């Protein structure tokens, strides 16, 4: 099966027009010694046989675990209309809208997506998408370095370790100094942050809710950050923005985050969606594609890729970022998802997540030996202290059909008995109660 | 078309959530809450469906139009790979599961897909090992350059620059710069190849790597590639291969065999995963043996009992470059595509891609000046310089093609070709489609002489005429605002 | 657009089958084999995808246009019901499985869907029992009339005719005739209701049944419906209810409560399963208790242990009217829709359908003469008789609507209304869509006076102008022929 | 969740324009005594909750049985492009193409489908679709009665009992006389058919392959049928037409059949596809919608519904049939399926089915006590004689993961030990061998 339409007759006609005997002649300038030493790829299979193979592999994955694992990637319900619309061939088989007149569908969709991200984050300008929440945070840090001309970045350790590790990997060859500040009573430690804040600081990075699920209002930190000429960067969980104070309201300069929770499947790690939003004055330092509205010759509204001078295909080594292909289709899914929920629905979604988590806290607190950390308010994720090693508890609960949470000991020293539990609108009351009962059984066996 | 925000009606409801089935707890204190709900549109599900169904119909796409966008390999994306991705076992698997004790056993299917894909890509390209983590080609370039930096650092060397031909794609210099390297640009000689004298002159102990695309962005395979590699290795530099044009040489030449040390591929180009309006893509990176230790963690390993696991204990690794294991959904589609084509299918893909590109070049060369020669690989670069004499730009020709239902080729890339038009037909387009496209380009060439105005006024059949891009840049309107 | 046959190229290959993995046995003798392969098109998968993707874009559809086709209830079809149908457990289940010993236990999910749907439809319509077997409304009518015939036969009676109003849908008389009955047509009085005198005159011991649509096809609910039923029952006749207009009275009136003995519903109308370009639909039939024994076999029953089974032992049953249990895929979507809307949702559907229809009638009645009164139920019938005075037909107005992106209403039905236009907006269309449609109809009315030619030349923006239907009937060209 | 866009404000505005106080006023002409006695429908659920309920139900069905059951409904592989294309909203949310200018997509697709059915059956004219194979056979019988003016129909008992039962149910109130002729050595018994053939015979109905899977050439029967002025009707299995002699080549007057095997899921009984094809001279007696080519005012080719005078919305009680909604989307699936396979692919599909069945025959013959009936040639379905009651064997093989065939005793007296086995291109060699091994194990346990 090779999807090639040329018949033997047509190949002959084309070779004749080209003026060569055979297709091999078109490759004869590749010298013999540069030919492949081997090319042992199995022979092609029919669509049916490949699908059977993939069905067998998909059945090797767990498909009926009740999912309380979050850590930045959440099991939210995806309305069927998201797949139906993002699955239209005119969206998913087009490429970057270089030719505006025959891409107004994509250009308007990106413009609408940029608007949704600005409205959720409370900031002025967004871009067409970045790879994921981690690279988005890295691009924000680089923006701050460029804008401030400074090289020191303070990172609250409430920011996901996954993103911190990516940040350090990307900047290992650049002379950027990172300072990590501790989490105290579940929230960012003001004292420590202010201690390190100075005129060499390019940015302070915080996360809301942080990796422990704790919710915060960073307005105070932002004020101090701006006083010393640095930028405030916040990585945020978009569904929580249905209810929580927005980065814009806190005065944050650059908001980033992972958009997976906006109608994108978990799909074992990707494709996901990185979003970024900034204040108007920092617009020209934004990485990646941006769509703007304009008019055509008849003064009719239309949309185009704009501010392209920042981008790699124009500025090459002086570009703000090297991104070319992005996560456009995932941005479209997020746009469709938020429009389907709409203004009232998105608030209700956040409220439902919050209420389910509060119920889970109360229910888990009743399990002997289990203590829910109450030091800071949370949204839909919280930390639980278990009477024994969280890894083992998680392992035994998997056998009972629960992916019951993320053992915090993996990311934070000294927290081996702590479990991070996420509760979305998909978790029914019954599932939460059964989870607590199974935990009870596992802990006392 | 009206924006979805302009269709909003206060109080209109769309998607309904389940009723709250738990007792209501007190809310968060006001300090932590936003003042009012985000002003998202208030529309019904039918409003949303009609809006995006009609919006999609304003786009050209591979499924509805010939889309010969050079250097993007817009080949047909087989439909069954979408179905594979939607299988419950693949679409709903939490990425943190294997990091839970006992969780790895519940992700064996996806881990096997990653493991098998790495093996297949290594054999296709002649590289020692692969990581599927990079989330697009440019991200793969950044990863590759980070591996190069780690390699030199491990040898106690701090090299300063990376050599890049002037014809390379913009992401190459951007990736090198972002990873902290200077960029030394080498010009292209009159035959369209890397200027060897300038190259030899630039090469030094400060050269960390040489970044090449092969076949290059002019569509030529440089027979001196081996010599270039040997020279680089002689200076202790590494060879980086931009795999965007791999569709030209599947089974004909492998970067690993001709001296490249680190490469990236674009699954959404060569391996037919959908371009999705700009993404998602995937840019897996392959390395020679000496760079394997530096690959990003985690690594997918196969245990003696045949099960698969994630190995995080690679102390020389450059660390995380992606949150997990790459764009799994895209990788799965490429895996399915490779299994479907198999050995012979992959070779036939390149043979027919090159055949079709040369067919276009042969029929068009008398109307548009070929950038360099009479032959090409999987894409051909033509110049509209002669048309410019009648005041007709490559842009005008593109707009004429749009009116005829063809997505234009890539224009003004590579930058070194005047009024460049890069045509990449791919192997999945029929001869009658190529002929119709070629006839249309010939018409445009004749019109440039007989009636240039017809080209300047195009396109006329689209939802908008030509748009004012200067106004868009000067008065940026980058979001809708509630009046 | 070219036909797929005109895109065929000898030797071109599309979909690939698995290689033969078994030893080759000798073929059938020539006598049993066709001389040459059927001359199907020889096209690639991309040819097929591009052909049908572009072909689809020539259609108006609910997802892309307002589609107020009277008597068809073109409401929005929720997307999630498609996903439910694609679940492996539902889509791949062999229909003969429950007829294998032990097989029934492997079809419990689908049997429960059928059982629950029958119960829900019974409660919605006030009927005693339902069969989901009929494959469309007309098929349900034929089944209903066969039940009526079986009932009378069982009473030793051989009644000759069925009474049908002149305003009824064409399928009613056709179904009655096909089942072996004569048809007695009752005219409509000046107020748009069944002419009671003619009805009383026609009713006799020879009347097998009275077939009514309620609300009728003029969009009115006949308050004398009970009296009509009592008269029929008095003559020993049965009352048949055409349920095509049920969307008007969900939760407001149930046929079972007002004297109907046998009814059919159209799941693809009232219960939002997609119309699929003409089908598939489903026409479940509901009966009162005294007709239950005659229902087609098999019957889905629930055993004491809560499991479900098929009961074939119904000696009075009229036998098989479908190969199995009905259009399961369509039934599943209707079931999902009913569970989703629930009690309040179903009632709101009718309330808003009637609100929207009356809104259209109120804004249009000054431009187009309402067929009968100032009020209507879920659809309103207008007449373009006054426009005809300027030589403008309902047809011309429809073509004008097409140019404006609206699918026209049903025209020339019911036959008893001159230049009839039947508008059924449904409850899922927004007010601004209704207003835009109404404004367009008003424009057409004004144009009929000011510039009728503009209407005669419409449509101008479609792939074809008005087509020569007489030529199509006189010189039938019903298939492509290889030259 | 009710998909209703009207806000409270909009409802008020609309009521005002109508001139009524409330929506109830629009229903007040429904007298109190005609109001529902009850309306106990459960309260509405969200899309998420309904999907969870349906997923639970779908898991109650067997999803991993290896399927050797046929009986007219086959487990063929459906290429993904069929779902992708038939799933385009512009196809599945449109209705019957009454307005040709804005339905050319559907009209051309139906015209192409009609062509495919004619090419497969070798006859001249087809229609837009009927409900299924059974109702199609009934419509063919009624056509023969109308055309011949006669009332007697001879039905070979090789025709599926399902279809024969439907035929008798539909005509029970009409004075049609049916004569069933026996199957001898697997094929239609010429002697018996000719015995009943007379000037009162409207038609002879045969099936190829017949219900036992036996293949036949009915040219001889057709000749005798035409000699006495009757019509020959054949119900055929479309995939077999890739290889078998077509009805047209046999002189058959009306070919009908079930189109499920052309890219339509088994889906527990429907929606399926009835097809019908006739000779040119009988065109005006065809039931259902028909699409014809014509030209518009600029002489441009276009398609329209034609010969509508036969249909119910024009001829009412004198219509050839009462069909209105049909199986259009299933006809589209069949069209896309046959185009994807194409001329060579469709032949290969038939050949692959035939070869797999022949291998299964040889393999099953080796099972002790099992005897494959070889009296007549077959296509992809054949009859096996078991050493014990087929029902019990089927039941035990279900436990081993096989739906191993259809016990013929259910439809034919005296065949309790006979099993009808179907083998499609989806059954791998390994599955066939495992089936034989499991059968061996079950028979000797
Ligand atoms: C030659 C070349 N290199 C690199 C890239 C970057 O790849 P990506 O778009 O996947 O980031 C492209 C993309 O168009 C390209 O054409
Ligand atoms: C009033 C009425 N009755 C019966 C029918 C026949 O229903 P179906 O098309 O499902 O056969 C229709 C279909 O349009 C109709 O409008």
Q: Give the mean pLDDT of D127-137.
A: 98
Asked if the peptide bond before residue A235 counts as cis, ω within 30 degrees of 0, the response is no
pLDDT of amino acid B422: 97
Residues of A numbered 10-69 whose beta carbons fall under 8 angstroms of chain B's beta carbons: which are they? 10-11, 13-15, 17-20, 23, 26-27, 29-31, 33-47, 50-51, 53-63, 65, 67, 69
Whether D84 and chain B come into contact, CB under 8 Å, resolves to yes
Distance C59 CA to ligand 2 centre (A): 22
Pinpoint the alpha helices (H) of A366-428.
390-399
Nearest CA to ligand 2 atom 12: C244
Which pLDDT score is estimated for D289? 96
- For residue D445, what pLDDT is reported? 78
Q: What is the pLDDT of residues D141-187, one digit of tens each?
A: 999 999 999 999 999 999 999 999 999 999 998 999 999 999 999 99
Over 80: is that where the pLDDT of C483 sits? no
- Residues in chain A with CB shorter than 8 Å from the CB of B117 are none
Q: Which residue of C has its CA nearest to A9?
A: C11
Among A14-18, C98-102, C424-428, D353-357, the range scoring the smallest mean pLDDT is C98-102
Ligand 2 pocket residue status of C266, Cβ below 6 Å = yes
A89 — contact with chain D (CB < 8 Å)? yes
* Residue of chain B minimizing CA distance to C12: B430
Q: How confident is the model at residue C374 (pLDDT cuts 50, 70, 90)?
A: confident
d(CA A436, CA B24): 19
pLDDT at residue B191, as a whole number:
87
Output the pLDDT for position B467: 98
Structure tokens at B365: 């060369």
pLDDT digits (tens, 9 = 90+) for D275-323: 999 999 999 999 999 999 999 999 999 999 999 888 888 889 888 899 9
pLDDT in tens, B211-224: 999 998 888 899 89
The answer, yes or no, to whether the previous bond of C459 is cis (omega within 30 of 0) is: yes
Would the CB atoms of D46 and B17 count as touching at under 8 Å? yes
pLDDT at position A313 is 86
- For C104-146, what is each residue's pLDDT tens digit? 999 999 999 999 999 999 999 999 999 999 999 999 999 999 9
Measure the CA–CA gap between B44 and B25, rounded to whole angstroms. 30
Contact at CB, A38 and B123, closer than 8 angstroms: yes
Kindly give the pairing relationship between strand D66-67 and strand D402-403: parallel
pLDDT at C43: 98
Helices B171-178 and B137-154: angle between axes, nearest 10 degrees: 40
pLDDT at C373: 85
* pLDDT given at position B440: 98
Rg (alpha carbons) of chain A, rounded to whole number: 25
CB contact under 8 A, B53 and C44: no
**Model confidence at B61: pLDDT above 80:** yes
* Predicted pLDDT at C475: 97
3-state helix vs strand vs coil in chain D, percent to 5? 45, 15, 40
Please report residues of B whose CB lies closer than 8 A to that of D79: 79-80
A142: left (phi over 0), alpha (psi -120 to 50) or beta: alpha
Residue ranges of alpha helices (H) inside B217-308 are 225-234, 267-270
Give the position, in ligand 1's atom list, of the atom nearest the Cα of A323. 11
Q: What is the pLDDT of residue D2?
A: 85
- Whose CA is closest to atom 16 on ligand 1? B71
Average pLDDT of span C33-40: 96
Per CB-CB distance under 8 Å, the chain D contacts of B82 are: 80, 84
Mean pLDDT of B291-310: 97
Residue A81 in contact with partner chain C when CB distance is under 8 A: yes
What pLDDT score was predicted for residue D327? 98
d(CA D335, CA D381): 24
Distance A303 CA to ligand 1 centre (A): 24
Instruction: Give pLDDT tens digits for A152-179.
Output: 999 999 999 999 999 999 999 899 999 9
Neighboring chains of C (3 or more beta-carbon pairs < 8 A): A, B, D
At C382, the pLDDT band (50, 70, 90 cuts) reads very high
**Confidence (pLDDT) at A221:** 98
pLDDT tens digits along D6-48: 999 999 999 999 999 999 999 999 999 999 999 999 999 999 9
Residues B444 and A244: their CA atoms lie apart, in Å, by 57
Q: How far is CA D340 from CA A216, B346, C13, D106, in A?
A: 57, 21, 8, 18
Of ligand 1's listed atoms, the one at least distance from the Cα of B282 is: 10
Question: Is pLDDT at B98 greater than 80 in this prediction?
Answer: yes
Local structure of residue D368 (DSSP, 8 states): T
Q: How far is residue B195's CA from residue D369's CA, in Å, rounded to a whole number? A: 80
pLDDT, average across residues B407-415: 95
For residue D289, count CB atoms less than 10 angstroms from its CB and return exposed for 0-12, middle for 13-18, buried for 19 or more: buried
CA of C51 to the centre of ligand 2 (A): 31
Residue C96: pLDDT band (50, 70, 90) is very high
At residue A73, the pLDDT reads 98
The fraction of chain B above a pLDDT of 70, given in percent, is: 100
Token pair of B280 as six digits: 């998602």
- pLDDT at position A63: 83
- Pick the closest to residue C298 from C138, C111, C151 (CA basis): C111
User: With 80 as the cut, is the pLDDT of residue B483 above it?
Assistant: no
Out of C44, C46, C63, closest to residue B50 by CB: C63
pLDDT classification of B374: cutoffs 50, 70, 90: confident
Residue closest by Cα to atom 9 of ligand 2: D325
B113 closest CA partner among B275, B369, B325 = B325
Shortest-distance ligand to the CA of residue D312: 2
Q: What is the mean pLDDT of residues D249-267?
A: 98
ipTM over 0.90: yes
Name, in order, each residue with C-beta under 8 angstroms of C451's C-beta and a sequence gap of 6 or more: none
Q: Angle CA(B249)–CA(B250)–CA(B254) in degrees, nearest 5?
A: 75
Cα A324 to averaged position of ligand 1 atoms, centre (Å): 7
C-alpha A234/C-alpha A240 separation (Å) is: 13
Q: What is the pLDDT of residue C219?
A: 83
List all residues whose CB is within 6 A of at least one atom of ligand 1. Answer: A 324-325; B 71-72, 136-138, 169, 171, 213, 217, 242, 244, 266, 281, 283
Residues B462 and B473: beta-carbon distance below 8 Å: no
Query: What is d(CA B478, CA A280) in angstroms, rounded to the nearest whole number?
Result: 10
Contact A89 C15 (CB under 8 A): no
Three-class DSSP category at D142: helix
Q: Number of CB pairs < 8 Å for C and D? A: 695
* Cβ pair B123:A41 closer than 8 A: yes
Distance C364 CA to ligand 2 centre (A): 26
CA C266 – ligand 2 centroid, Å: 7
The mean per-residue pLDDT over the stretch B57-69 comes to: 98
pLDDT band at C471 (very low <50, low <70, confident <90, very high): very high
Q: How many CB atoms lie within 10 A of CB C477?
A: 16
Structure confidence at residue A310 (pLDDT): 86
Q: What letter would DSSP give residue B105?
A: G
Asked if residue D221 has pLDDT above 80, the reply is yes
Minimal-distance CA residue to ligand 1 atom 5: B137
Looking at the DSSP assignment, which residues form a beta bridge with residue D372? D384
A46/C83 Cβ within 8 A: no
Distance B244 CA to ligand 1 centre (A): 6
* Residue B106 Cα, gap to closest chain C Cα (Å): 21
Low-confidence ranges of chain A (pLDDT < 70): none
Beta strands A406-407 and B238-242, pairing class: unpaired
Q: What is the per-residue pLDDT for B218?
A: 86
Residue C111 tokens read as 């049997």
CA dist., res. D107 & res. D305, Å (int): 7
> Is the Cβ pair D83, B83 closer than 8 Å?
yes
SS3 of residue C15 by DSSP: coil
Give the pLDDT confidence score for residue D314 in this predicted structure.
87
Please give the distance of CA C124 from its chain centroid, rounded to a whole number.
18
Nearest CA to ligand 1 atom 9: A325
Residues of chain A by 3-state class (helix, strand, coil), percent to 5: 45, 15, 40
The ligand placed nearest to the CA atom of residue C172 is 2
- Is residue A364 within 8 A of residue A384, CB to CB? The reply is yes
Q: Which of D8, D47, D353 to mutate to test binding with chain A, by most A CBs within 10 Å of its CB?
A: D47
Q: Is the pLDDT of residue C393 over 80?
A: yes
Question: Measured between alpha carbons, how far is C90 from C94 in angstroms, rounded to an integer?
Answer: 9
Strands A371-372 and A301-305: unpaired
D271 C-alpha vs ligand 2 centroid, how far in Å?
Answer: 17
* C382: three-class secondary structure by DSSP: strand
CA dihedral over A156, A161, A163, A168, signed as positive or negative: positive
When pLDDT is averaged across residues B128-134 and rounded to a whole number, the result is 98
Q: Is C122 helix (H, G, I), strand (E, B) or coil?
A: helix
The total of other beta-carbon atoms located within 10 Å of residue A346's CB is 28
Plot region of D98 (φ>0 → left; ψ -120 to 50 → alpha; else → beta): alpha
Is the CB of residue B385 less than 8 Å from the CB of residue B455?
Answer: no
Whole-number pLDDT of residue D320: 84
Would the CB atoms of B359 and A14 count as touching at under 8 Å? yes
**Cβ D129–C279 below 8 Å, yes or no?**
yes
Task: Please tell me if residue D217 touches chain B, with a CB cutoff of 8 Å.
Answer: no
């Amino acid at each position: 099966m090779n999807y090639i339409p040329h018949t033997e007759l047509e190949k002959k006609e084309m070779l004749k027009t080209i003026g060569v005997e055979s297709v091999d002649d078109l490759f004869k300038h590749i010298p013999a010694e540069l030919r492949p030493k081997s090319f042992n790829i199995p022979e092609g299979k029919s669509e049916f046989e490949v699908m059977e193979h993939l069905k067998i592999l998909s059945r090797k994955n767990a498909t009926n675990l009740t999912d309380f694992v979050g850590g930045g990637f959440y099991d939210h319900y995806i309305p069927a209309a998201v797949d139906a619309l993002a699955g239209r061939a005119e969206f998913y088989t087009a490429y970057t809208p270089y030719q505006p007149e025959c891409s107004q569908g994509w250009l308007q969709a990106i413009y609408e997506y940029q608007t949704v991200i600005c409205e959720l984050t409370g900031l002025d300008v967004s871009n067409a998408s970045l790879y994921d929440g981690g690279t988005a945070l890295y691009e924000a840090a680089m923006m701050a370095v460029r804008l401030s001309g400074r090289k020191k970045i303070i990172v609250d350790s409430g920011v996901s370790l996954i993103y911190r590790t990516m940040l350090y990997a990307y900047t290992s060859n650049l002379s950027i100094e990172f300072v990590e500040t501790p989490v105290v009573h579940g929230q960012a430690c003001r004292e420590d942050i202010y201690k390190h804040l100075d005129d060499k600081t390019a940015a302070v990075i915080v996360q809301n809710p942080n990796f422990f699920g704790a919710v915060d209002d960073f307005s105070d930190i932002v004020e101090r950050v701006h006083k010393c000429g640095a930028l405030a960067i916040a990585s945020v969980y978009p569904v929580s923005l249905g209810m929580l104070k927005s980065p814009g309201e806190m005065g944050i300069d650059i908001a980033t985050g992972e958009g997976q929770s906006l109608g994108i499947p978990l799909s074992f790690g990707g494709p996901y969606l990185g979003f970024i939003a900034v204040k108007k004055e920092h617009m020209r330092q934004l990485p990646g594609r941006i769509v703007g509205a304009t008019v055509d010759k008849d003064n009719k509204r239309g949309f185009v890729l704009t501010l392209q001078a920042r981008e790699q295909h124009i500025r090459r080594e002086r570009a703000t970022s090297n991104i070319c292909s992005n996560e456009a289709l995932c941005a479209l899914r997020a746009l469709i998802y938020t429009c389907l929920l709409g203004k009232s629905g998105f608030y209700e979604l956040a409220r439902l997540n919050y209420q389910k988590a509060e119920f889970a806290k109360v229910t888990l607190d009743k399990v002997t030996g289990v203590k829910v950390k109450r030091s800071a308010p949370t949204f839909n994720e919280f930390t639980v202290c278990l009477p024994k090693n969280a890894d083992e508890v998680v392992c035994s609960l998997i056998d009972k059909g629960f992916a019951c949470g993320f053992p915090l000991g993996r990311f934070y020293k000294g927290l081996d008995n702590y479990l991070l539990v996420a509760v979305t609108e998909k978790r029914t009351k019954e599932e939460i109660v059964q989870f607590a009962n199974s935990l009870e059984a596992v802990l006392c066996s | 078309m009206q924006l979805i925000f302009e269709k909003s009606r206060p109080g209109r409801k769309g998607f309904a959530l389940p009723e709250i089935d738990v007792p209501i707890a007190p809310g968060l204190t006001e300090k932590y809450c936003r003042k009012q709900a985000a002003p998202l549109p208030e529309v019904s599900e039918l409003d949303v469906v009609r809006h995006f169904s009609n919006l999609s119909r304003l786009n050209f796409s591979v499924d509805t139009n010939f889309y010969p966008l050079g250097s993007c390999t817009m080949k047909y994306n087989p439909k069954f790979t979408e179905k594979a991705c939607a299988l419950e076992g693949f679409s709903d698997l939490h990425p943190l599961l294997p990091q839970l004790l006992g969780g790895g056993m519940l992700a064996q299917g996806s881990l096997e897909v990653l493991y098998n894909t790495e093996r297949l890509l290594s054999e296709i390209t002649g590289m020692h090992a692969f990581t599927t983590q990079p989330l697009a080609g440019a991200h793969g370039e950044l990863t590759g350059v980070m591996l190069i930096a780690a390699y030199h650092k491990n040898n106690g060397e701090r090299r300063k620059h990376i050599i890049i031909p002037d014809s390379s794609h913009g992401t190459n210099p951007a990736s090198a710069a972002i990873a902290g390297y200077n960029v030394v640009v080498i010009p292209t000689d009159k035959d369209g190849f890397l200027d060897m004298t300038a190259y030899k002159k630039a090469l030094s102990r400060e050269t960390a790597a040489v970044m090449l695309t092969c076949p290059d962005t002019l569509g030529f395979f440089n027979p001196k590639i081996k010599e270039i590699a040997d020279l680089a290795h002689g200076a202790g530099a590494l060879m980086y291969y931009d795999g965007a044009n791999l569709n030209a040489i599947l089974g004909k030449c492998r970067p690993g065999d001709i001296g490249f040390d680190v490469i990236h591929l674009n699954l959404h180009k060569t391996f037919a995963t959908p371009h999705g309006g700009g993404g998602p893509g995937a840019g897996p990176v392959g390395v020679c043996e000496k760079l394997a230790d530096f690959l990003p963690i985690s690594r997918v390993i196969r245990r003696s009992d045949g099960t698969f696991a994630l190995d995080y204990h690679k102390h020389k690794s450059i660390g995380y470059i992606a949150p997990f294991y790459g764009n799994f959904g895209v990788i799965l589609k490429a895996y399915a595509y490779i299994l479907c084509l198999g050995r012979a299918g992959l070779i036939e893909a390149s043979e027919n891609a090159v055949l079709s590109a040369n067919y276009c070049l042969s029929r068009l060369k008398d109307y548009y000046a070929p950038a360099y020669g009479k032959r090409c690989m999987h894409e051909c670069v033509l110049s509209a310089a002669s048309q410019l004499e009648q005041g007709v730009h490559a842009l005008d020709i593109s707009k004429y093609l749009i009116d005829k239902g063809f997505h234009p080729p890539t224009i003004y890339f590579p930058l070194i070709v005047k009024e460049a038009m890069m045509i990449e037909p791919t192997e999945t387009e029929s001869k009658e489609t190529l002929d119709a496209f070629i006839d249309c380009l010939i018409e445009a060439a004749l019109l440039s002489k007989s009636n240039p105005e017809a080209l300047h006024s195009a396109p006329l059949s689209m939802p908008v005429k030509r748009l004012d891009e200067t106004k868009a840049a000067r008065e940026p309107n980058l979001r809708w605002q509630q009046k």
